[in-house]
Structure 1
């Protein structure tokens, strides 16, 4: 069974996290932390024989896709909705004096 979180442990956690909890909040936090410890104990029971330890879920190679342009130049279509245009650009009122 997972270690039981006692008052001293809760006090240390609150001190380290700079928390000031009322008794009701402290008990709720203790219950949540106890659930986490119980779950971690279940994970410790998994057979990890032959599994290499890792620090990241991805390997060291780049796993992201390359950027690709997937739409053509839409300038004309975008300017079609503009209230005013000038020299192929949006024409907006001057905002600096």
Structure 2
């Protein structure tokens, strides 16, 4: 599967405002974000399959409320261009 196809199937919706609101209201535990030492720039709702793959590659993924949110640490380019997406496609 190529990177564009992977993102069309497994990266579902941008969710930054939703996740940030849940964090601010104390509805999501995100202490692991601070332990990871990374700055999440965007949140994306992803498929269960991609959430597992992203976690295996050390990416920030929150699993709660039946959702899987990926904490993307890059911005300003198409998601399919991210290094981690290229790595997953290369497997």
TM above 0.5, one fold? no
Kindly indicate whether structure 1 or structure 2 has the higher relative contact order, using CA contacts under 8 Å at least 6 residues apart. Answer: 2
TM-score of the pair, normalised by structure 1? 0.22
The structure carrying a bigger helix percent of its residues is: 2
For the pair shown, which has the larger CA radius of gyration, 1 or 2? Answer: 1
Q: TM-score, normalised by structure 2?
A: 0.23
Which structure: greater strand fraction?
Answer: 2
